[in-house]
Amino acid sequence: MTPQAPAGDAAPAILSVNNIEVIYDHVALVLRGVSLTVPEGGIVALLGANGAGKTTTLRAVSNLLRSERGDVTKGSVVFAGERVDRLTANDLVRRGCIQVLEGRRCFGHLSVEENLLTGAYTRRDGAAAVRQNLEDIYETFPRLRERRKAQAGYLSGGEQQMCAIGRALMSKPRMILLDEPSMGLAPQVVEEIFEIVHALNQHRGVSFLLAEQNTNMALKYATYGYILESGRIVMDGPTADMRNNEDVREFYLGTASGEGRNFRNVKTYKRRKRWLN
Ligand SMILES: Nc1ncnc2c1ncn2[C@@H]1O[C@H](COP(=O)(O)OP(=O)(O)OP(=O)(O)O)[C@@H](O)[C@H]1O
């Protein structure tokens, strides 16, 4: 991969999440004032441990919370200049923002091609355009072309992830919310998936908000990162800075030198305590 040029501070925001609060079942406060921005044409990583609130943040943006009995009780979400937090998920897909759910969720009994075609359900531009789009997707994922008649349930994890991303691409998105693409995949397959994300971003201008526990990969491919902890953003910055940050290296990358650490340093100690809890 060639290191990606930052999307740039000057790039306008395609997505702004403004101070959102999310409550499940009317009682469980899970997001406590989360704000983040994705610039047009950017890849932004949302990092954090299990249960930090990454999936909830993505679902709050894509309007998929209600089926989980979750509600955005404060704040707003703006996509491409329009407030979208009261839209349905379908309306948001029509406007160009789609989520690829954690765990791929392909329809196992349908073929790869049938799965891809389900992704075009919001389109109104005719069968020829859909067919052309399918061809483009097979260009991007030659493996899916080879396996287009296979039942998705029999694909490898990496192929299923490709199928799920391909299906999202069939809606012609400007932005994809990608939830843990690396989950359960071998390291070289993870690299392959991230290379595809990078290519879609560079060559088709698709913006990405990427929720990941694989901090190493996410920091390599994203230009800007946010770290979530117990429903709050505790750190954000350009990924180049995050990779060199001692706390990130110690708690998320496991590569800190360990030298010169002083736990009487209250700020560091507090953060360490929070991350270990
Ligand atoms: N439908 C739900 N009802 C109640 N609580 C939920 C629901 N979904 C998630 N939660 C809780 O919200 C918190 C955040 O979960 P979320 O799935 O957003 O975290 P995450 O960072 O994506 O973690 P993971 O990587 O494990 O998916 C967790 O404490 C979780 O138990």
The residues, any chain, with a CB within 8 Å of residue 84's CB and separated by 6 or more, are: 63, 77, 78, 91, 92, 95, 97
Sign of CA dihedral 25, 28, 33, 36: negative
* 167's tokens: 């299906």
239 in Cβ contact with 47 (< 8 Å): no
Q: Which is more confidently placed, 249 or 174?
A: 174
List the alpha helices (DSSP H) in 24-156: 54-62, 89-95, 112-118, 127-140, 142-146
Q: What is the interface pTM, i.e. ipTM, of the complex?
A: 0.95
Give the range among 102-116, 191-205, 257-271 with minimum mean pLDDT: 257-271
Q: Does residue 265 register a pLDDT over 60?
A: no
Closest atom of ligand 1 relative to the 68 alpha carbon: 1
Helix or strand or coil: residue 147?
Answer: coil
- Determine whether the shortest distance from the Cβ of 53 to ligand 1 is under 6 A: yes
Ranges assigned E (strand) in 7-69: 13-24, 28-39, 43-47
The residues, any chain, with a CB within 8 Å of residue 97's CB and separated by 6 or more, are: 15, 61, 62, 79, 80, 84, 173, 174, 175, 176, 177
Which pLDDT belongs to residue 9? 52
Q: What is the pLDDT of residues 47-86, one digit of tens each?
A: 998 889 999 999 999 998 988 899 999 999 999 999 999 8
Q: Report, as an integer, the average pLDDT of 234-238.
A: 93
Minimum CA distance residue for ligand 1 atom 23:
51
Closest atom of ligand 1 relative to the 179 alpha carbon: 22
Q: What is the pLDDT of residues 88-142, one digit of tens each?
A: 988 999 999 999 988 767 888 899 999 999 988 877 888 888 899 999 999 999 9
Q: What is the CATH number of domain 13-106+172-244?
A: 3.40.50.300
Q: Which is more confidently placed, 10 or 24?
A: 24
- Determine whether the shortest distance from the Cβ of 29 to ligand 1 is under 6 A: no
49 in Cβ contact with 37 (< 8 Å): no
Minimum CA distance residue for ligand 1 atom 28:
51
Model confidence at 246, in pLDDT bands (50, 70, 90)? confident
5 in Cβ contact with 42 (< 8 Å): no
Which pLDDT belongs to residue 269? 47
- Determine whether the shortest distance from the Cβ of 47 to ligand 1 is under 6 A: no
Q: Is 211 exposed, middle or buried (0-12, 13-18, 19+ CB in 10 A)?
A: buried
Model confidence at 2, in pLDDT bands (50, 70, 90)? very low
Q: Does residue 188 register a pLDDT over 80?
A: yes
Report d(CA 85, CA 72) in Å as an integer.
8
Report d(CA 16, CA 38) in Å as an integer.
7
Q: Does residue 249 register a pLDDT over 90?
A: no
